[in-house]
Amino acid sequence: MAATFERLDQVALLALVTVAALNYQIFTYQRKFLMPAELYTYFPAMIHQKFFPPTRSIGKLTPGIVHSASALELPSTGQLFCFVETSAVHYDDRVPSIASTWLPKCDNGRFFTKTPLPNSNMTYSTVYLNLKDSYYDLFRKTTFGFYYSYMHISKSFDWYLKADDDTYFAMDHLKEYLSTLDPTKPLYLGYVLKPYFKNGYNSGGSGYILSNAAVKLFVEKLYHDEYTCPYDWAEDRGMGRCMARAGIFPTDTRDDKGLNRFMPFKPSELAGVGPEWHYYPMEAGQYASQKFVSLHRLPQDMMISLDDILHPKLGKRVYNPKFVKLD
């Protein structure tokens, strides 16, 4: 009987490998999207070596990374470390918008890029130098981003924030909220999406934050473990899976009225987002907290305008997007 079950396991594994091979051969362009996640549970090391470059190797990812002089002058301790994932196509619009609004309000805030920013006065680190500038590499960008932040920049921040380059953070609201939480507990903060996992996972678009305890556990226990923390083409879902398998589930970040602090969807998009996506049901007309923390897919001119409203005494901005006149 045991031999029979063993043969069945071998047949099941062979079937999964065959599907993966067909995806690789027939759908070359989309092979990372089509790769069945279950295959990693069986033999992730083999699959990673055969179908994906071994980009989790710290020895292959760290050589050549440079930091702007302004980034090297930032504090190495404090409440909040922020990294914004960006690429060269947005150096003239999204990057200056963020650089002149919320990023400098982090205790240590910088852009993680593949190439140096054109303005050497901006705070950046070329953490993604040895990664592909591809949507399908977002998972590895994010996981390596957290690893590098903690291991190579500083272990001394209370919170570590990952953001996209089209997301705005109301930093005063965020810091006020974080002051009510304990960073020595493994906390995983963001907007909780419902699909795929019993306890949900945090949307990457609205940004998510790991406490010092959570990022320490991720770096030491999850980053190198491809069984527990396998590749996923969807970066936020992949992070959610990794955290859940370590017993860390999304925190309820709503305010005392049940309204959301983190917002991955614009109000105009909500009608097209079904209830199956919201872990916490939303009532009609109720979405954003007055103490909102983040807004996703915010146009750059609107980001500037909103920041002017929240900080009317800020004065003239250092970096202006080319298409925004702030004279």
Residue 209 and residue 248: Cα distance in Å, rounded? Answer: 12
Say which DSSP state 61 is in.
H
Residue 4's pLDDT is 44
In 86-135, DSSP assigns E strands to: 108-112, 124-125
Cβ neighbors of 161 (< 8 A, separation 6 or more) are 80, 81, 82, 83, 106, 169, 207, 208, 209
State yes or no: pLDDT of 121 exceeds 70: yes
Amino acid at 131: L
Residue 298 and residue 167 in contact, taking contact as beta carbons nearer than 8 Å: yes
Where helices occur in the chain by DSSP H, the ranges are 2-26, 31-34, 38-42, 44-51, 58-61, 69-72, 94-99, 138-148, 171-178, 212-217, 235-245, 300-310
- Render pLDDT for 83-105 as a digit per residue (tens, 0 to 9): 999 999 999 999 999 999 999 99
- Render pLDDT for 235-290 as a digit per residue (tens, 0 to 9): 999 999 999 999 999 999 999 999 999 999 877 777 778 878 888 988 766 778 99
Residue 274's pLDDT is 80
> What six digits make up the tokens of 226?
């491809």
Q: What is the mean pLDDT of the chain?
A: 84
Residue 308 and residue 48: Cα distance in Å, rounded? Answer: 47
State yes or no: pLDDT of 309 exceeds 80: yes
pTM of the model: 0.83
Weakest mean pLDDT among 14-28, 50-64, 174-188, 197-211: 14-28
Ramachandran area for residue 161 (φ above 0: left; ψ -120 to 50: alpha; else beta): beta
State yes or no: pLDDT of 36 exceeds 80: no
Q: What is the mean pLDDT of residues 296-315?
A: 85
Residue 151's pLDDT is 98
Residue 19 and residue 11: Cα distance in Å, rounded? Answer: 12
